[in-house]
Structure 1
Amino acid sequence: METYIKKKSHSIRILSPEEAERLAKGKVLVTDFKQMKLEKEAQKNWDLFYKRNSTNFFKDRHWTTREFQELKACREFEDQKLTILEAGCGVGNCLFPLLEEDLNIFAYACDFSPRAVEYVKKNSLYSPERCKVFQCDLTKDDLTENIPAGSVDVVTLIFVLSAIHPDKMHLVLKNIYKVLKPGKCVLFRDYGLYDHAMLRFKSGSKLGENFYVRQDGTRSYFFTEEFLFQLFTSEGYEQVANEYVQRETVNRKEGLCVPRVFLQGKFRKPLEKTEVLAD
């Protein structure tokens, strides 16, 4: 059983000499041909991931409302019905705890994998009256085909962008921007630089700077504060928060304690000029 302990700091993690040496040994990049193949087969690889793991791989994320107070605080009055978008919902590990905890939420949810979307629809907690789920490539498919423009109170983007090629991440943020209400936020959490998962990749797994491929063909990017700031602000968002979260994962059964590094941020769509003047 794994548990998180000891929230350590909001600064970048310092590598030990052994870790730095291990990371330096994996600098050889995957060939361009294989990289193009991975990009072309990205959806298939995630679909196979969910075929192998069903709904059992990720734990339900009951920590979301604790870490992101905006899910409650963005209400303008008590019992206001919130409209949220979970971009990259997987099989609903974040979605369903939110719907259970807060009865005044309507959720849009989408995922790259058709199989993951089907798992969400088959979940006993799924109700079309409270949730609309659909398959979507966030880098290509226009969200306004399923969600009215400027109608969403808060977007969660949790462990999603890391699976997308860095050159295409801005397309996701541009897409989300269209459905988010002015003055409202995107809540971000993903892998941070020097997370334990980054240090575990073997030689021959590197796709680019801080970008790696797993054995199953799925990919993972590890974020820095600077990269994330530039990514969001270049698409018109205002930064509210952007910081590293360091934890230790303890596997008591195996006697292991490993460092985890995440990047957590909140980025706001600016109010329109007329709204600012009205205030």
Structure 2
Amino acid sequence: MAESRQDETTLPVRQKQPRQQLTKGMEHMREYVAIDDSNKTSQQQAEEDAYGVPATIEPIRKPATDSQSNPQKRSDPFQFGTRYLEEGDDIFAHNAWDHVEVDPQYTEFIAAQTIFQRENQVSDFDKKRFNDKPEKWWDKFYSNNQANFFKDRKWLTQEFPVLAEVTKADHGPCTVLEVGAGAGNTAFPVLAMNSNPGLKLHACDYSAKAIDVIRSQEAYTSQQEPRVLQADVWDAAGEVLPPGLKPGSVDLIVMIFIFSALSPDQWAQAVRNVHTLLKPGGEVLFRDYGRGDLAQVRFKKGRYLDENFYVRGDGTRVYFFEEDELREIWSGNIPANSKDEGEAPTKVQVPGLQVLNLAVDRRMLVNRQRKIKMYRCWMQGRFRKASNENENGEAAKA
């Protein structure tokens, strides 16, 4: 026994390997996001890379101001912060910078990458496989990840202050529907801060497994009757409304990274359903992926389903939007591109909503340890059903 313990103490100690600068899935983007320090001494590294990436692939910087500090003080949530990257700023002083424009070299990469993706798209067989039953892939996703993949969205009330207002004790009756609720990362934070006895919160997802995850959480099972939060399976692009909800019964609809999971031919029905559910004056709180986001440009072979529409490695789908495109969609002008070559694109007209706010949230996220920069692009909007309009899009009778 003594010899055994002695042998154990003489075993070589395994050295901890340094963390990879890039994951395998991002290796093809190295020259566009990473600092090449292979030929630099430590002194040169400190002097030349003090601001992050080499000048040839730096983000565009704004002229320096006289301000000594740049806190994020926002009166309008659609300003998305005021941490501007200015001349002289240390790029690694913060984890993220707001309103960052991409440099010309990165823009060229996006264009080249899009051509590459289009030329190496998903086979016809796999297109059918991924498009026929998308809920199957989300079921598999939530079976594998349960409630551990996404973090609770603590930023919700900063981006959409109305969610804090409706949870106040004196607000009065209010019905909130979250579409694409997933594991409850929006619903549970709203439930936790609620003091409004008149709040009704419906969390819906077309993955039955996701709803099982929500219903299994203690915050859900421990609710007293009448319960505030109700979770149900519902297809946002289906022909029926969610359980327990009638036309014109919803005050707020929350859609966070859900519309992008629908294929373009599902948009019209989804917008119809949203319009039908909203009360006159009701609103949609919207956030989703924007064109040119890192999540889009990093796709390699066999992920391109259609223009700006991709399938991830886990089989789930994602679309990347432009601002004008979303403005048209939510106004009720849904693009319906003809499958016949040479025919002009057409529009499907559905009852639309008023676009109160729609803005592009461009940020540069920085990883100080790995010396990489990541351009993110999200779309954020607030859309309202006219106060004199019924669920059919007609002017309500006086």
TM-score scaled by structure 1? 0.89
Hey, what does 2:97 align to over in structure 1?
A: 6
Instruction: Determine if contact 1:4/1:247 at 8 Å carries over to the other structure.
Output: no
Task: Say whether residues 1:131 and 2:226 are aligned partners.
Answer: no
Q: CA deviation at 1:194?
A: 0.3
Cα distance between partner residues in 1 of 2:265 and 2:328: 13
The answer to whether residue 114 in structure 2 is matched with residue 23 in structure 1 is yes
Q: Any gaps of 5 or more consecutive residues in structure 2?
A: 1-93, 333-350
Q: Answer yes or no: is the 8 Å Cα contact 2:167–2:195 preserved in 1.
A: no
Alignment of 1:37 onto 2:129 = yes
1:243 aligns with 2:337: no
What amino acid does structure 2 have at the position aligned with 1:110? C
Supply the distance in 1 between the matched residues of 2:189 and 2:103 (Cα, whole angstroms): 31
Partner of 1:213: 311
CA contact (8 A) 1:12 1:244 kept: no
Equivalent residues of 1:19, 1:199 under 8 A apart: yes
Cα deviation 1:116-151 (Å, max 9, x = unaligned): 101101111113611111011111141254212212
- Structure 2 match to 1:189: 287
Q: Write the distance in 1 (CA, Å) between the matches of 2:150 and 2:103.
A: 25
* 1:138-170 Cα distance to aligned partner (Å, 9 max, x none): 111412542122121110011001111111022
Q: Which has the larger radius of gyration?
A: 2
* Residue from 95, 100, 108 that aligns with 2:202: 108
CA RMSD of aligned residues (A): 2.6
Name the one with the larger strand percent.
Answer: 1
Identity among equivalent positions (%) equals: 35
Equivalent of 2:299 in 201, 206, 211: 201
Distance (whole Å) between structure 2 residues aligned to residue 12 and residue 257 of structure 1? 11
Aligned pairs (5 A) from 1:7-86: 7-8=98-99, 15-28=106-119, 29-72=121-164, 78-86=170-178
**1:172 matched residue in structure 2:** 270
Which residue matches 1:156? 254
Q: 1:270 to 1:165 in 2, by over 3 A?
A: same
> Is the 2:117–2:303 Cα contact (8 Å) retained in structure 1?
yes
Deviates more, 1:108-117 or 1:23-32: 23-32
- Decide whether the 8 Å contact of 1:12 with 1:193 is kept in 2: no
Which structure 1 residue ranges, 5 or more long, are not aligned?
none
Q: How many residues align?
A: 275
Give deviations 1:230-278, integer Å, cap 9, x for gaps. 1111132111111110122233454432111000011111112699998
Matched, 1:259 2:375: yes
TM-score (norm 2): 0.64
Q: Which moved more, 1:195-204 or 1:125-134?
A: 125-134
